[in-house]
Every structure is written in structure tokens, then in C-alpha cells.
Structure 1
Amino acid sequence: MHIHNLSKGNSVLNTFISEIRDYSIQTDRMRFRRNIERIGEVLGYEMSKSFDFTTQSIKTPLGESKIELHNNDIVLCSILRAGVPLHNGLLNYFDSAENAFISAYRHHKENPENFEIIVEYLACPSLENKTLILADPMLATGQSMVATFEALKPFGAPKDIHLVSVIGAKAGVDYVGKHFNKETHLWIAAIDERLNDKGYIIPGLGDAGDLAFGEKLQH
């Protein structure tokens, strides 16, 4: 798997990452969502450099201009609910993308440290020979990303696959690396070293879905 860790270089992205991590700032839900959206835009911009481009002629009022435009047929799939702001950021840059949505959540059994990933809702166009962008802001154990991709397989075989996350743990990155083909690309803003015993990223930022949309009742 090709890993593109944007934290290896300094940019304005550092500001957005610092604010979604900062406990005194992240409690502003509107700002949190907007920062996730902006991170999605940065990741989308960097990802676009790897796309296929062809030369096209554009007529201007004074003549003609030739420009390279990407010709990837994109399907953007996000994991609900935390993935919505990240989805919006990517969609801001890929105007004509088709969209897919899937719900995947952790179901804890008797032991709160053990869980399985439950997929309940899925809406998806054909993926056959298209560019699949699979977005989930937190790549903790990697199980949600893998379970989501397994659920998408009946919709066709993508030409190429791009995974997009805001913050991941090394264990999660390693896990998806074992379950996706070697030509898959991972675009990520930061990679943290470890998970705690409940499978949450440390230092991470907390629960991205709760921070974006409010706390949920457990059932």
C-alpha cells in the first residue's frame, strides 16, 4: 500500500490538526466540522496529483487555452456519521463525483474491550472500473475500513482505490495495509503511535462523531 502521510512536511494543515486535537477548541462543533472539512480539502488536493490527466482545449473570450484535466470517474464513499464533514471537504474539490454512504459502528459485547463492526445501511452506485475514495476520519484499528470495503464488493471492482483519513494509529495503518492490495493509496494527515486497550487512538482527539454532531445514546 502507498502511504501518503502529510504530517511528514509542514504546512497550514498543521493548524487544522492542532485545532481538532485541542480540547479547548474542539468543543466548538461548528469549528470542528469546518476543520475536518478543510483537512478533507487538503487531502483531496494532494490526492488529485496522482490522478490521470488529459489535455483539453478551453475557449476563452479572447482565444483558446490548453489545460490538463483529470479524467478519473470518482465514487466518494464515507462512513456515517463521523465521515460527513470529511466527505464534504473532498466533495468540494471533486464536483462531479458520484457518492456512496455506509453506516459502520462498533458493537461491544459483554467485554467493552472487544467489539465487532456492524454494517447496517449502504447506498452505492456501480464501482466497476471507477476510482473509489473511501473516507473515514479516524483510522484506529482499521476494522471499519476493511468491513466497509467488503460490503462494497458486490457493486463492482474499482480501477483504483484511495483511502482517506484524518488521524490514524500505526496499528490501523498496518491492518488496512494487509487487507487492501498493494496499489491502494492511503492519504492521511497524521499517524499516532498507539491504541489504548479499548481501541482508541492515543493521543488522537476523542470521538470524531460526537465532536462533530453531539454525543449519542448507546444501545
Structure 2
Amino acid sequence: MRLHVADHPLITHKLTVLRDAATPSPVFRQLTEELVTLLAYEATRNVRVAPLEIQTPVTTTVGVKIDDPRPLVVPILRAGLGMLEGMVKLIPTAEVGFLGMVRNEETLEPSTYAERLPDDLSDRQCFVLDPMLATGGSLGAAIDFLFQRGAKDITAICLLGAPEGVAAIEKQVDGRDVTLVLGAMDERLDENGYIVPGLGDAGDRLYGTV
């Protein structure tokens, strides 16, 4: 597994505002979108491309285009939805699938309650969006789900991660082609499985409580 933790003042600045409990939902949503676009720039470094010959105003030249099959972006519902727009702005030709996962607050174990994905992901590059990598349960289950469908390699983008969650994902992927891109690595998990210092419940802060 490859791990990349962003080290950029713009990312750190935006994360600082996200962490602030006084930041309202509209600002939180806007900053999340901006952060994902910044993180996606690094996450797509190895996106597959194919040569493409074009005519410039001066001459012909060979550039590249996003190769087929197109990348698949998979936000984990519901908080991952807040990251989707920032990702597809960078790769507008990507396809989008959805995974609905929920964590049992007592056992901390994830379960899947909804999915909308192609039946066959053979040879696909997948980008999974999940704001918080805490215990690693939901993200790990999503990664397993995608590999079982035939995904070739998977990149997960998270705003924040905890060392415990990173270790859990590294152990679970067991040599498979996985890249983890984080906006920041936080200190630890608390007794309830929340990231410290973290930013609270990302879904609630994006959309409010229901």
C-alpha cells in the first residue's frame, strides 16, 4: 500500500477552517469540495492515459487522453457525497458509482445498505471518497467490495486519517494495489472511535443531523 499525506499550506489552511466547530455547513461544503480537488491532483498522478495526436495552431503533436475503461469514482454515502463534486471537476469524464455504508456505533463494524456499481469492474481504476479514515472499517469494506467486482487498483481519498485506521487498511489490503491519499494524519482515535483532534461527524457537518 502506498500512503501520501498532503503537505501544502493551502490544504492545511482549509483543513483548519473545517476543524473549527463554528464553521457553518455551507462553508464546510465549499471547503470540502476545494480540498478534494487539491487532493485529487495528487491522487490521479498515476491515472492511466493513452497517446493522442492533435493539431495545434502551429503543428501536430502527441499528447495524452484519459484511457478506457474510464476511471470510476465511488463516494461512500452519505458523507462521501460532499467530496464528489470536487473530484469530478478534475476528472469530468469519470463514471460515478455509489456505496452506502453505515458504522454500528457500538461494535464500530460497517455494513453495506446500498450499492450502485457496474457488475464488472475488470481492469478499472477506482477512486473511493470517504472524508474520515477512523477505524478503517467502512473504507476497508468498500475496498474489498470493489476488488471482488474485479477492480484493478484503488485509490482512496480522505480529508483526515488516524494512525489506527491507516494501519488497519494496510493490514487488510495485504499487497493489493491500493493508494491512500490523506489531507492530514491526526493524532489518534478516542474511546468512541472518533478521530482526535478531527473535525466531528463529517456527514452531520456537511448536511446537518436527521
- TM-score above 0.5: yes
Contact 2:103 2:110 in 1 (8 A): yes
Question: 2:138 maps to which residue?
Answer: 144
- Confirm or deny that 1:36 pairs with 2:32: yes
Tell me how far apart the structure 1 counterparts of residues 81 and 65 of structure 2 sit (CA, whole Å): 27
Question: 2:92 maps to which residue?
Answer: 95
Question: 1:104 maps to which residue?
Answer: 101
Matches within 5 A, 1:114-129: 114-125=107-118, 126-129=120-123
- Cα gap change, 1:181/1:58 in structure 2, threshold over 3 Å: closer, same or farther? farther
Tell me how far apart the structure 1 counterparts of residues 179 and 143 of structure 2 sit (CA, whole Å): 14
Q: How high is the TM-score relative to the length of structure 1?
A: 0.87
Tell me how far apart the structure 2 counterparts of residues 132 and 52 of structure 1 sit (CA, whole Å): 11
Give the SS at the match of 1:147. helix
Question: 1:14 maps to which residue?
Answer: 12
Measure how far apart 1:215 and its partner are: 1.0
Measure how far apart 1:92 and its partner are: 1.0
Matches within 5 A, 1:27-66: 28-61=24-57, 63-66=59-62
Tell me how far apart the structure 2 counterparts of residues 107 and 175 of structure 1 sit (CA, whole Å): 17
Q: Percent identity?
A: 30
Question: 1:168 maps to which residue?
Answer: 161
Give the SS at the match of 2:28. helix
- Confirm or deny that 1:5 pairs with 2:5: yes
Question: 1:71 maps to which residue?
Answer: 67
Tell me how far apart the structure 2 counterparts of residues 197 and 39 of structure 1 sit (CA, whole Å): 28
Question: 1:180 maps to which residue?
Answer: 173
Measure how far apart 1:99 and its partner are: 1.2
Tell me how far apart the structure 2 counterparts of residues 97 and 57 of structure 1 sit (CA, whole Å): 21
Measure how far apart 1:47 and its partner are: 1.7
Where does structure 2 lack aligned partners over 5 or more consecutive residues? none
Tell me how far apart the structure 2 counterparts of residues 18 and 64 of structure 1 sit (CA, whole Å): 46
Measure how far apart 1:66 and its partner are: 2.8
RMSD: 1.7
Letter in 2 for 1:203: P
Question: Which piece of structure 1 moves more, 124-133 or 64-73?
Answer: 64-73
Tell me how far apart the structure 2 counterparts of residues 68 and 78 of structure 1 sit (CA, whole Å): 27
Measure how far apart 1:149 and its partner are: 2.7
Question: 1:210 maps to which residue?
Answer: 204
Tell me how far apart the structure 2 counterparts of residues 181 and 77 of structure 1 sit (CA, whole Å): 21
Counterpart of 2:124 (choices 130, 144, 160) is 130
Letter in 1 for 2:13: T
Residue deviations 1:72-92, cap 9 Å, x none? 631111111100121221111
Letter in 1 for 2:81: V
Letter in 1 for 2:62: K
Measure how far apart 1:61 and its partner are: 4.8
Give the SS at the match of 1:12. helix
Letter in 2 for 1:178: K
Counterpart of 1:80 (choices 77, 81, 90) is 77
